[in-house]
Structure 1
Amino acid sequence: MTASDETKTPGRKLLFAILIGLGLAIPLFMVWALVYDRQSQSEQAQSSITEGWGGPQAMSGPVLVIPYRQTTTETSTASGTAITRTQEVIRELTLEPEAVELATDIKPQLRRRSIYEAVIYDATANGSARFAFPTDLARYGVDPAKLDLTRAELRFGLSDPRGLGANPTVSIDGRPLKLQPGGGSGAGKGFFAFVDAGALAAKSAIVKFDYGFRGNARLSLAPHAGDTHWTVKSSWPSPSFGGSFIPGGRTIGDKGFAAEYRIGNLALGRSLVSTADKGQSNITESASANTPERIDSGEGKGSEIASIGLIQPVDLYSRVDRATKYGFLFIGFTFLALLMFDIIGGVKVSGVEYLLMGAAIVLFFVLLLAFAEVLGFTFAYILASAAIAGLNTAYSAAVLGSWKRGTMIGGLLIGLYAMLYILLGLEAFSLLIGSVLLFFALAAVMYATRRIDWSRSNGEAAV
């Protein structure tokens, strides 16, 4: 032991270990950046896998759109003279059905490319809708005599029409309709049919529909009816219910899930009748590629949705990211154990040895990420923790001059890895459990060092 080592106080040694630990924050932050980069690559790979199949789908409709003429008057002033112009414009009356019965069956599958995978699905939507002609059109500023019932359009919305199946069928009062692509004169997304709504003034009409479509990751419904009854079933065991409405009843098991929604127009906060300028009464315009929370309605206002996501049960990138945030805890406890052997046990530990053992701890998170992408999180965690615990055990045994001391370091790391795995699985109580464990660890360190004179040098006698 050199003279400079003998004059180092325990306090200086503690400060030296802290500085090395702070230096290891740089590679630890680099690991966080690596996790983010790999997650971004995974999302890009998933987009590539699902390209051409169909995006997260959002359904809406059916609604009945009837064009009508309306006389408008405009008054303007030119050279001090008031000029009144009267013109006739074409507007659209949108009728939502009184009731919709909709059943959807989602058949999911996993598509893989290299180490990445994405959830895609085939789905079928079939049901019926009942339309009734309003008797109080005057309240909406519509003259029934100016309705062009022969040019009505029955519109269905689908956010990504690329996924639409080949043979959708729609009928009204038993008469099959010829379907057209797009959103009709509203230029939205989906499909529509020209309808002669002349008979609707005398009695209600029943529309039946059956169509299939493809999508990925998420399915949403924008309800447009006085009473929407939507039942969904799928073999996917891990659904995520979101949007503005959640199912009133649901069952989830290993063989899949079933959900039932009941949504009324009072909850939606809108009337079954609306008017808009021609070309603005779209029931769908766009849906977000990730979280389609809203779909544009007839008057340009947001329409509430019910959404079901087919999530992966384990998001390995979020778990690795959370694990990496505990990196300082591992470095701190390992350095503290080495410091105790140095101060109390009298075994000299150099800065290089602190640095190498800290680097091994940082490497654990890189190994965890690399193995998890190939083997899954649990097996990767076991393999990475065993490798690093074994490496640091053997190295510390050589540094501390005793396999007993090295085994104590290894046991500490194994305990920390086991605690971290438990914390990662207990999201709701991870902060509580972690705080309590840190309290007891700090109490143990304070008890073990209660008689140390942090200002004395190694050459001085302990008090």
Structure 2
Amino acid sequence: MMDGMDVENGSEREERSPGRKFMMVLVMGFLLTIPLFVTWLLVYDRQSQSETAQQSIVSGWGGEQVFAGPKLVLPYNVALQETVEQNGKSVTRTNIVQREFFLAPEKVKLDSALKTRTKKRAIYEVVVYDTNVIGSAVFRLPDDFGRDGIAITDIDFTRAELRFGLSDARGLAGDNSVTVGGEKLVLKPGRGLGETGNSGFYAWVDASGLIEGGLEADFAVRFKGNESLTIAPHAGLTEWTVQSKWPHPSFTGSFLPEAEETKVTAKGFEAKYLITNLALGSSLVSMQVGHQVNPGRTGPMVHFEPDGGAVAASATVHLIQPVDLYGQVDRAAKYGFLIIGFTFVAFLLFDLIGGVSISSVQYILIGAALVLFFVLLLAFAEIIGFALAFVAASAATIGLITAYSASVLASWRRAGLVGGLLAGLYGAIYILLSLQAYSLLIGSLLIFAALGGLMFVTRRLDWSGSLSRVRR
């Protein structure tokens, strides 16, 4: 009885149509998208852990710095009239309110050299830098200054402030100095600029020199940061020269350096920016958007930066790592469908045409090995880099599936064909990852060629017939 049932079941398996076999393989391939999706989540999780580790490495060192300044802050008095009801009568009174306006320099020149190093913790690393921004700024009142509604006689030049902005003031280090007219100023923390979220430092200065002419400030500010340095320009002319021995810079932001004065080599880079306030679209004078203070008497100066705390215009230099291994592993994992699909099609052809019976369990095991490739790639890449990791993971996967195929296909020759197919697939994927601009074109042509080959091989296959008839 049992023998009869076995023969009958075996006959049913033998008579299963190629179409049903194809649908079964398609369903198994679809099920493998679940572990493939979990692999993507693993990549994102490891990337998040890497970013957290990098933040802990640079904690206390200095973040991605934004430098702004200097700006002169000049207090002035304004008379405001208001009408109030007092004892049943309308009384008009005048309140003297102290406000401030911000004067950007006519010209500012900045020169910064980034001394870089790589800080590591376990398998994680981050690029940090130490820089000394040496610069000078020239301040002058605009020729049409009176049109702003402020009289020079209302300005208290002796109580001016010279403000600098630095987004992460923890990075300030060394003997920072600011001199105006040859006199060294005493620097105080806080009261930065809006471009840096009001973080930075300032100094009191007598700006009486603006009445008759100009005011020149020289400064040297040393600070530490990581990964990027941003300059927030606001002068009539900003000239910024930046250099470093780091060979992998990326220039971003609202403005790019002058092409003819930018050099990037294996030994480092040097770039020069020239930015005018016409390009910025902003005036050198900005008024305080404040409110009256202490009605009825002259109140204390209100410190408020009108720019709102956001970097509207910027020039940024990123010190990038040449290989973003998590990004590359993520892109490689997106080709998982391609690898699984090509491999399953190869085994399906051996099943339908080659006369080899392959069970669904064997398909699942082969698919699991293909998915495991991306986990191995991620694990190895964190230790030895992406290129070597790709070679190691692909070699291990090809070796495992080839050895297993020799038993499944009952032939080392057929197993060698599977190994060659996988080697070609992994090689093609590595090329696709390297040629980002043409990856879609090459991938599309590869799939088109594979589809054409599959259609040619199966052109006479009766998909509704039985496998026994096909194999005879």
Which range, TM-score by smaller chain? over 0.9
Give the CA deviation at 1:78: 9.2
Q: Deviation at 1:76?
A: 6.1
Matched, 1:433 2:433: no
Structure 1 residues 69, 338: CA separation in 2 closer, same or farther (over 3 Å shift)?
Answer: same
176-185 vs 325-334, greater mean Cα deviation: 176-185
1:266-299 per-position Cα deviation (integer Å, ceiling 9, x unaligned)? 11111111210354543xxxxxxxxxxxxxx546
Find the counterpart in structure 2 of residue 258 from structure 1: 270
Q: How does 1:116-195 map to 2 (within 5 A)?
A: 116-183=124-191, 188-195=198-205
Distance 1:184 1:245 in 2: 23
Quickly say closer, same or farther: Cα 1:354–1:140, change in 2 above 3 A. same
For 2:453, what is the secondary structure of its paired residue?
helix
The one of 394, 417, 433 equivalent to 2:403 is 394
2:171·2:224 contact (CA, 8 Å) conserved in 1?
A: yes
Report the Cα distance in structure 2 between the residues aligned to 1:322 and 1:260, rounded to whole angstroms.
35
Partner in structure 2 of residue 206 of structure 1: 216
Name structure 2 gaps, 5 residues minimum: 1-6, 291-300
Q: Secondary structure at the match of 1:52?
A: coil
Following TM superposition, by how much is the alpha carbon of 1:108 offset from its aligned partner in structure 2, in angstroms? 1.0
Structure 2 match to 1:315: 324
1:94 and 1:281 in contact (8 A); partners too: no
Partner residue in 2 for 1:226:
236
Contact 1:94 1:298 in 2 (8 A): no
Q: CA deviation at 1:79?
A: 11
User: Is the contact made by 1:234 and 1:257 (CA closer than 8 Å) also made in structure 2?
Assistant: yes
Q: Provide the residue aligned with 2:3 in structure 1.
A: none
How far residue 193 of structure 1 moved from its aligned partner, in angstroms, is 1.1
After TM superposition, list the pairs within 5 Å mapping 1:15-30 onto structure 2: 15-30=23-38
Superposed CA deviations along residues 246-269 of structure 1, whole A, max 9, x for unmatched, are 111311111111111000011111
**One-letter code aligned to 1:451:** R
Secondary structure of 1:347 counterpart: coil
What is the SS of the residue equivalent to 1:232?
strand
Paired residues of 1:108 and 1:236 also in contact (CA < 8 A): yes
- Give a deviation string over 1:321-375, Cα, whole Å, max 9, x none: 0000110111111110001001111110000110000000000000000000001
Deviation at 1:81, TM superposition (A): 7.0
Q: Give the structure-1-normalised TM-score.
A: 0.93
| CA contact 1:62–1:224 (8 Å) conserved in 2 | no
- 1:132–1:404 CA distance, 2 compared to 1 (3 A): same
- Residue 345 of structure 1 is matched in structure 2 by 354
CA 298–142 in structure 1, closer or farther in 2 if over 3 Å, else same: farther
Greater alpha carbon shift after TM alignment, 370-379 vs 66-75: 66-75
Matches within 5 A, 1:72-151: 72-75=80-83, 84-151=92-159
Q: CA deviation at 1:174?
A: 1.5
Change in 2 beyond 3 A, CA 1:85/1:436:
farther
User: 1:217 and 2:220 equivalent?
Assistant: no
Identity %: 53
RMSD: 2.0
Aligned counterparts of 1:39 and 1:254: Cα–Cα separation in 2: 28
Partner of 1:8: 16
Query: Which residue pairs with 1:286 in the alignment?
Result: none
Deviation of the 1:206 alpha carbon: 1.4
Match of 2:314 among 289, 295, 305: 305
1:382 counterpart = 2:391: yes
Residues 43-93 of structure 1, C-alpha deviations (whole Å, 9 max, x = no match): 000000000000111001111111011111234679997554431111102
d(CA) in 1 for partners of 2:144, 2:173:
39
Counterparts in 2 of 1:434 and 1:461: CA distance versus 1, 3 Å: closer
Over residues 418-459 of structure 1, what are the superposed CA-to-partner deviations in whole Å (9 max), with x where a residue is unaligned? Answer: 000000011111000100111111101100000100011123
Structure 1: distance between partners of 2:308 and 2:99: 12
Contact residue 220 and residue 305 of structure 1 kept, 8 A: yes
1:405 matched to 2:414? The reply is yes
* SS of equivalent to 2:47: helix
Report how many aligned residue pairs link the two structures: 449
- Give the TM-score, by structure 2 length: 0.91
Gaps of 5+ in 1: 283-296
Q: In structure 2, do the counterparts of structure 1 residues 313 and 184 end up closer, same or farther at CA, with 3 Å as the change threshold?
A: closer
Contact 2:68 2:193 in 1 (8 A): no
